[in-house]
Amino acid sequence: MKLHKEGNTIIPWFVIGVVALYLLLTWLIPLELFRLVLGGLSSIFLVLVVAFFRVPKIQVPVGNDLVIAPAEGKVVVLEKVMVDEFLKEERIQVSIFMSPLNVHINRAPVSGKINYFHYHPGKYLVAWHPKSSTENERTSIGFEMSNGVRIFMRQIAGAVARRIAFYKELDDKISVADEVGFIRFGSRVDLFLPLEANLKVKIGDKTTGGETIIAHLKS
């Protein structure tokens, strides 16, 4: 299993911390049953941490009119909103909530180039909170496709997330499903699509980053 570079530092520290805590507690409470239960719980916790940083294989759908899920998670918002940044117009907002059990790699929803980026410091409300999109710590990214269509995306920190990484620069050319960033742990990604986009997801749908078709864009 391939692991993401964001886990290169945190995974060893988690292992050291869990092992140290296990040794300390089993020394303080030298009971066989306690040792077995604690060992099992520690193993499960370490497996979950490693799984969080996994890099799954994906099959990217083909189509110039497709908008692909930028993250793995669950669709929690589908609504028409006024976007007051970058686009300055009404758009369809599609929000994907990523729990700590999801892969937190963020991928480009379309092919084109990056023509807008802005970092916003902010709060750490739970990621599904309606105000998290505009009040939480976040990054705003604008994508421009070769046909001139612009797609707006936000990476939003949640109550647990304390690190948002974005790996690209302004004017970088990107292909759909390219890895563009990472958020840890528990967070959300918002997409803002043209009003005429033909949505292919509904509230509660699960998404796979780089695979799930979010919408077809009008030609």
Backbone angles phi, psi at 197, to 5 degrees: -65, 140
Active site residues: 187
Q: Is the pLDDT of residue 5 over 80?
A: no
Residue 72 has a pLDDT of 93
Q: Is the pLDDT of residue 167 over 80?
A: yes
Q: Is the pLDDT of residue 180 over 90?
A: yes
| Position with higher pLDDT, 17 vs 149 | 149
Residue 53 has a pLDDT of 75
pTM for the model stands at: 0.84
- State the residue for tokens 């690190």: 163
* Structure token pair of residue 74: 């669950």
Residue 54 has a pLDDT of 78
Determine contact, residues 188/75, Cβ cutoff 8 Å: no
Local structure of 128: helix, strand or coil: coil
Residue 1 has a pLDDT of 67
Residue 209 has a pLDDT of 93
Confidence of residue 160 (pLDDT cuts 50, 70, 90): low
- Minimum mean pLDDT range among 37-46, 132-141, 153-162, 199-208: 153-162
Q: Is the pLDDT of residue 10 over 70?
A: yes
Q: Is the pLDDT of residue 161 over 70?
A: no
Distances in whole angstroms, Cα of residue 193 to Cα of each of 27, 66, 76: 57, 11, 15
Centroid of chain to Cα 210: 11
Among 159, 150, 216, smallest CA distance to 188 is for 159
- Residue 44 CA to residue 49 CA, distance in Å, equals 9
**pLDDT tens-place string over residues 72-92:** 999 999 999 999 898 889 999
- Residue 73 CA to residue 212 CA, distance in Å, equals 11
Determine contact, residues 127/136, Cβ cutoff 8 Å: yes
Q: To the nearest whole percent, how much of the chain has pLDDT over 70? A: 93
Determine contact, residues 168/174, Cβ cutoff 8 Å: yes
Residue 111 has a pLDDT of 96
Residue 132 has a pLDDT of 72
